[in-house]
Amino acid sequence: MSSTTRPAAEPRPVQAAPPPGADSARTRRIGRIRRTLTPYGFLSPTGVLLIILMITPIVMVVSYSLLDRVITNKNPAFVGFENYLEVLTDPVFFTAVRNTLVFTISSVIVHFVIGLAFALMLNSPLLKDRTKAFFRVLYILPWLFTVAIVAVLWRLLLSPNGVVNYLLGTAGITDGSTEWLANPSTALAAVTFINIWSGYPFFMISLLAGLQGIPRDLYEAAKVDGAGVVAQFRNVTLPQLRPIIISMALLDFIWTTQQFALIWMTTGGGPINSTEVLSTFTYKLAFTEYEFSVASASAVLVLLMSMVLAFFYVRHQKARD
Amino acid sequence: MTTLATRARTSEQPVLRTPPKKTGQRAALVVALVLGACFAALPVVWMLSSSFKTNPEIFEFPPRLITPGFSFDAYTTILTDPTKLRFFFNSYVIALSVTALSLVVAVHAAYAFSRYEFWGKKTINVVVVSVQAVPPITLLIPYFGLVVALKLYNTYQGLILTYMVFTLPYAIIMMTGYFNTLPKELDEAVKVDGAGPLTALWRILMPISVPGLVSVGVYTFMICWNEFLFALTLTRTEDMRTVPIGIQLLMGQHSYEWNEMMAMSILGCIPVLILFLFFQRYFIGGMTAGAVKI
Amino acid sequence: MGRVMGKGAHVGRFIALTAVASLALAACSGGGDADTGSDSDSGEDVTLEFSQWWEPELPDGAFRELMDQFEEENPGITVDLLSGPYASTKEQVVAGAAAGTMSDVVGLDGAWVSDFADQGAITDLSAVMSDAGYDESQLASQVKVDDKTYMIPVVNFVYPMFTNDALLAGAGVTAPPATRTEFADAAAKITTDSTYGWILPLSLEAPNGIQNDVMSWVWASGGSMLDDGQPALTDNEDVTSATDYIQGMWDDGVIAPGSFTMKEQDKVEEFSNGRVGMMIDSLAHVNLIRESNPDLDFSISAIPAEDGYTGERGIPYASWGIGIAENSEHKEEAFKLVEFLMSESVNSELSSIANAFPGNTTSVPDFVEEDELFGTAFEIYQSGFPANEFTGLPVAEQLMRDFGEEFQKALDGQQSMQDALAAAQTKWEEEF
């Protein structure tokens, strides 16, 4: 498309004086084709990259999921949906789904609540700009560390002889001997807490930005109507932030369902299987049982669930346009 | 401080200010902020404190913030080890390249999504969003085979392209949102003058999108800076490793170098922190427009 | 650029640019050393890749020095050391084997061997050894799958019992316990508000606590968890008595808290800090404990056996094993490196710097004579037999994890120990 069009002038729909006769129809047709093709041109680098480096491996994973014992078996046979059956009849899979949902949904909700609370505080007109900048830097800190170190740090903090127990014990809140990560009844909550700590800054920053984008006159109008602080928050702030909240929540949901390293390096999916999530379940299938086919089937199931989410996400986008 | 915030503040001052009640509210707010800061920063303070301790002191009970063994040894060890410095260098090269390249590619895709209606738009959109959802751990093996086949194994290019693929969906989503907030008349005006869409994009939209670009850029940078799994698998030799692998190399089979791990992650976060300080006024502003209309 | 140029031209040029850029990327990458030993001419110089996690574990530069020595003795062969984090070595080998980019020589753990052999990732060393006319009798052990050797343990880390003698003395225990009753008794006496008798890491991320801290009790009394190579966890008096014994100590509260997520690295930190009286641990930790806490008064003994047991005691061990990639084009040279590492003097030296016991029967590491503690350990090692039944089993790590989950459930009171063994047995039978 590029070689022939170089000298051709841009058709100018607004201006008069169309080029003579037969030529004009042709130019217009080329123009139309060009217009149709332009977006694809813009998308082509993305397309090339995603197709080669993302879609190809995904397709390979899908095909693995239909074969028998890939990787370990040199000539795997086609087994249809047998691997899916194996995943779906494994009770641990459902434990993993349940834990993933608990982990993800509570993470997303608390990310949102903390993120919004911090954003509101950091946006308060009562504070000096410098104070806000200072706290903003402090509040962003958890975001700056690689997962491995977050896991190691919190293992230290939450160990039975760790700082958290020491502080709680000294303050008399607990007896100071809680096994946060090693007790099946607190492990999932502890891991979720760590994930909340390490993930809220993303929400906070986005919401903070959103708050600053809300036109001031909306608040003034609300005040004229006699709305108090709470009513202003409910009737102006929340509705204005809604688009951000929904898209952030969806992105966060997708990202959190994939959280692997954090859980693996703190509890390894244990104790027993109280923190077993889909990612640790899949990892174990692949790298300790060498069941790459079954692991692929499990991954494809996760992909399908996420595609449903993605679909709603895009629809939501459309609805707002 | 951010120009946006300043502007917002000055504009509302006359309306909101009712002095007598304010002092109490301000005090309550500061208390809340400090509490929040404890939640956010105390673990990091502990990390910092541990990086100055000797290994056994880290496990001392009752714990102390500053111990007799206080020293900068862990930092000296890292900063005088050329192998570890190389990890930092690699992380910079990769993270900066990905940030630049991802932005350039994403901006064009976002422009298409924002300014054109075309066949398959919705489907492509679903794909872009949902490819983020495949558990990376299962992609590892096919992906690795692919990278080897493309002769990208153990190269910067391999990692750069990989991270581009990981960060593009997010960057596209955010930039599309950002462009959506900019009036279409802007680029239409240029096109009327006979310029192509690329001119509209680069000459008109890009300069006013700097905040959006910065916010997406910082996020992209952080993803690359912290990624472990693919950095490990797609590189082989020590001179290609990145910082997260350097940290994990300190977690041995039998024992961990706790203080060096902590020191290395503190060192690792400093450049990102500086970057954030430098860009934060854009960052806050950028997310505004981008996020509002995703 | 500008007014005259059409949209199409812009977009087209953009595509062309992208294409050129990707080509350029692909071209540059050719410069990277992407493929493994593509030059197969044996007359040419050969570069062996050796991936392992040992180098970072050893004193700085020590392992490289050994490689330099090898290169000097074998002109024409250079060794490229590729080091990775221990915890991720396995993923790298699996992915490398699947893509055919595995290093020529790889460091292995006994728990992985069966799986890698199955995958066709590592080569049959029996064949290589007979081709090279190698004298196998000097090897302390070989890890076999279907009667073929796939891994040779280069050095072994044994796991004796460590006791904090000051804590024991303070509790009125004068000698390290030698039987289970004595051990449980000592553990109970040591346990106070802040100290515990024993420490038991059962993390499911790194489930080797099952091997080193649980099954070791079975092996120390001459028991076995297998019967003719098949799992035998039920109707097995040796296993039942050991697990019941541990359950008993658990219920008595003499085991340090945090077991369910604790790893080997945590165990040693708690012991060094004097919060735990006894542990079963790798000799590799001796120097670390001494560095961490120079004042700690500790000693090493054999793992306690059942009361009245007089036979040889099995002592658990972990190895740094070595194997050769199936797709290596330099198997002959690769084996020279294996031979070098297994030779008497080099093996002695490597054992010395790693604080491990040699894989060559004739090697004697320096520390055995110089250091009393290691001397004792060497005696324990020689008077017993190295026992690690997980080595060479299929999906060994998963077996440990399966067992670990059921064991945790039993300790947590969700099922009886008998049910736990039965459940683990069922899971194991599926894996075999």
Which stretch of DSSP H or E encloses residue C334? helix C331-342
Give the pLDDT of residue B283.
56
| Cα B244 to the center of its chain, rounded Å | 14
Residues A57 and A152 in one domain: no
Taking CB atoms and an 8 Å cutoff, what residues of chain B touch A216? Answer: 8, 11-12
Return the C-alpha torsion angle A158, A164, A166, A167, nearest 10: 180
Taking CB atoms and an 8 Å cutoff, what residues of chain C touch A44? Answer: 14-15, 18
* CB-based contact, A292 to chain B, within 8 Å: yes
- Going by pLDDT thresholds of 50, 70 and 90, the confidence category of residue A22 is low
Domain contains A210: yes
Q: Give the single-character DSSP code of A215.
A: -
C327: containing domain: 46-157+318-386
Which of A24-28, A111-115, A284-288 tops mean pLDDT? A111-115
Give the pLDDT of residue A244.
73
Residues C414 and C282 in one domain: yes
CATH code at position A178: 1.10.3720.10
Whether pLDDT at C177 is above 50: yes
Extract the tokens encoding A33. 């084709």
For C336-367, the DSSP string reads HHHHHHHSHHHHHHHHHHHT-EESBTT---HH
Give the pLDDT of residue B15.
46
* Total beta-carbon pairs less than 8 A apart between chain A and chain B: 311
Which tens digits make up the pLDDT trace of A56-96? 999 999 999 999 877 777 778 888 899 999 999 999 999 99
Domain contains C372: yes
Distance CA B104, CA B102 (A): 5
A26: containing domain: 2-64
Taking CB atoms and an 8 Å cutoff, what residues of chain C touch A39? Answer: none
Nearest to B151 among C34, C56, C85 (CB): C34
Judged by CB atoms closer than 8 Å, whether chains meet at B193 and C34 is answered as: no
Q: b vs e for A115-146, b when ≥16 Cβ sit within 10 Å of the residue's Cβ?
A: bbebbbbbbbbbbeeebbbebbbbbbbbbbbb
Give the pLDDT of residue C231.
93
CATH 1.10.3720.10 is held by the domain B74-292: yes
Taking CB atoms and an 8 Å cutoff, what residues of chain A touch C18? Answer: 44-45, 48
Domain contains C3: no
Domain contains C130: yes
Domain contains A163: yes
Nearest to A264 among C14, C115, C205 (CB): C205
Give the pLDDT of residue C321.
94
Q: b vs e for C46-57, b when ≥16 Cβ sit within 10 Å of the residue's Cβ?
A: bbbbbbbbbbbb
Mean pLDDT, residues C297-319 taken together: 91
Residues C426 and C289 in one domain: yes
Give the pLDDT of residue B20.
61
Map tokens 């089937």 to a residue: A297
Give the pLDDT of residue A203.
84
Which range among A32-41, C99-108, C180-189, C345-354 shows the weakest confidence by mean pLDDT?
Answer: A32-41
pTM of the model: 0.85
Residues A241 and A137 in one domain: yes
Judged by CB atoms closer than 8 Å, whether chains meet at A49 and B284 is answered as: no
Q: Give the single-character DSSP code of C322.
A: E
User: Which residues between 30 and 89 in chain A have a beta carbon less than 8 angstroms from any beta carbon of chain C?
Assistant: 30, 34-35, 37-38, 41-42, 44-45, 48, 71-72, 74
Q: Are A230 and A144 in contact (CB under 8 A)?
A: no
Residues C133 and C252 in one domain: no
Judged by CB atoms closer than 8 Å, whether chains meet at A159 and C258 is answered as: yes
**Residue from A5, A27, A132, A152 to probe the interface with B (highest B Cβ count within 10 Å):** A152
- Going by pLDDT thresholds of 50, 70 and 90, the confidence category of residue A6 is very low
C163 beta partners:
C278, C299
Which tens digits make up the pLDDT trace of C250-281? 999 999 999 999 998 889 989 998 999 999 99
Chain B closest CA to A142's CA: distance in Å?
6
C144 beta partners:
C149
Nearest to B233 among C49, C56, C91 (CB): C91
Taking CB atoms and an 8 Å cutoff, what residues of chain C touch B198? Answer: 1, 7, 10-11, 14
- Of B164, B163, B154, which Cα lies nearest the Cα of B233? B154
**Domain ends where: A64, A91, A117?**
A64
The verdict on ipTM greater than 0.85 is: no
Distance CA B76, CA B83 (A): 13
Residues A140 and A208 in one domain: yes
Taking CB atoms and an 8 Å cutoff, what residues of chain C touch B153? Answer: 32, 34, 99, 101
- AA letter at A228: G
Taking CB atoms and an 8 Å cutoff, what residues of chain A touch B261? Answer: 149, 152
Q: What is the rounded average pLDDT for all residues in chain C?
A: 86
What value, to the nearest 5°, has the Cα angle with vertex C352 and ends C350 and C358? 65
Whether pLDDT at C151 is above 90: yes
Residues A23 and A136 in one domain: no
Taking CB atoms and an 8 Å cutoff, what residues of chain C touch B141? Answer: 94-95, 98-99
Nearest to C261 among A34, A267, A288 (CB): A267
CATH code at position C189: 3.40.190.10
For residue C154, the SS3 value is strand
C partners (3+ CB pairs within 8 A) are A, B
Chain C closest CA to B59's CA: distance in Å?
7
Give the pLDDT of residue B19.
58
Domain contains A77: no
Return all residues near A242 (Cβ < 8 A) that are at least 6 apart.
none
**Residue from B236, B238, B239 to probe the interface with C (highest C Cβ count within 10 Å):** B236
- Going by pLDDT thresholds of 50, 70 and 90, the confidence category of residue A7 is very low
Which tens digits make up the pLDDT trace of B92-144? 899 999 999 999 999 999 999 988 888 888 888 888 887 877 778 778 888 88
- Taking CB atoms within 8 Å and a gap of at least 24, the contacts of C178-181 are C178/C301, C178/C302, C178/C304, C178/C305, C179/C304, C179/C305, C179/C306, C179/C307, C179/C308, C179/C309, C180/C217, C180/C245, C180/C304, C180/C305, C180/C306, C180/C307, C181/C307
Nearest to A53 among B162, B269, B272 (CB): B162
Residues C180 and C233 in one domain: yes
- Of C112, C204, C240, C201, which Cα lies nearest the Cα of C403? C204
Give the pLDDT of residue C9.
45
Domain contains A189: yes
Chain B closest CA to A192's CA: distance in Å?
15
Residues C269 and C352 in one domain: no
How many domains, chain A? Answer: 2
What percent of chain A shows pLDDT beyond 90?
Answer: 34
Which range among A217-221, B151-155, B211-215, C75-79 shows the weakest confidence by mean pLDDT?
Answer: B211-215
- AA letter at C339: E
Residue C4 burial class via C-beta count within 10 angstroms: exposed 0-12, middle 13-18, buried 19 and up: middle
Judged by CB atoms closer than 8 Å, whether chains meet at C405 and A179 is answered as: no
Residues C295 and C343 in one domain: no
- Going by pLDDT thresholds of 50, 70 and 90, the confidence category of residue C124 is very high
Judged by CB atoms closer than 8 Å, whether chains meet at C7 and A35 is answered as: yes
Residues C280 and C201 in one domain: yes
Give the pLDDT of residue A318.
63
* CB-based contact, B281 to chain C, within 8 Å: no
Give the pLDDT of residue C43.
56
Domain residue ranges of chain B, discontinuous segments joined by +: 74-292
Residues C144 and C237 in one domain: no
Cis peptide before B62 (omega within 30 of 0): yes
* Total beta-carbon pairs less than 8 A apart between chain A and chain C: 142
Domain contains C327: yes
**Domain ends where: A64, A90, A112?**
A64
Question: With a cut of 70, which residues of chain B have pLDDT below it?
Answer: 1-20, 282-294
Q: Are C224 and C218 in contact (CB under 8 A)?
A: yes
Distance CA A53, CA A49 (A): 6
Residues C272 and C236 in one domain: yes
- Of C48, C31, C30, which Cα lies nearest the Cα of C39? C48
Q: Give all strands of the β-sheet with C276-280 in edge-to-edge order.
A: C196-198, C276-280, C161-164, C298-301
Chain A closest CA to B291's CA: distance in Å?
6
Give the pLDDT of residue C2.
36
Residues C197 and C272 in one domain: yes
Give the pLDDT of residue C253.
94
- Going by pLDDT thresholds of 50, 70 and 90, the confidence category of residue A317 is low
Residues A60 and A130 in one domain: no
Q: b vs e for A174-202, b when ≥16 Cβ sit within 10 Å of the residue's Cβ?
A: eebebbbbbbbebbbbbbbbbbbbbbbbb
Residues C345 and C210 in one domain: no
Residues A200 and A307 in one domain: yes
Q: Are A142 and A200 in contact (CB under 8 A)?
A: yes
Residues C281 and C411 in one domain: yes
How many domains, chain C? Answer: 2
**Residue from C29, C33, C266 to probe the interface with B (highest B Cβ count within 10 Å):** C29
For chain B, the DSSP string reads --HHHHHHHHHHHHHH--HHHHHHHHHHHHHHHHHHHHHHHHHHHHHHHHHTS-HHHHT-SS--SS-TT--SHHHHHHHT-HHHHHHHHHHHHHHHHHHHHHHHHHHHHHHHHHH---TTHHHHHHHHHHGGGS-HHHHHHHHHHHHHHTT-TTSHHHHHHHHHHHHHHHHHHHHHHHHHHS-THHHHHHHHTT--HHHIIIIIIHHHTHHHHHHHHHHHHHHHHH--HHHHHT--SGGG--HHHHHHHTB-SS-B-HHHHHHHHHHHHHHHHHHHHHHHHHHHHHHHHHHHT-
For residue C197, the SS3 value is strand
Give the pLDDT of residue A320.
55
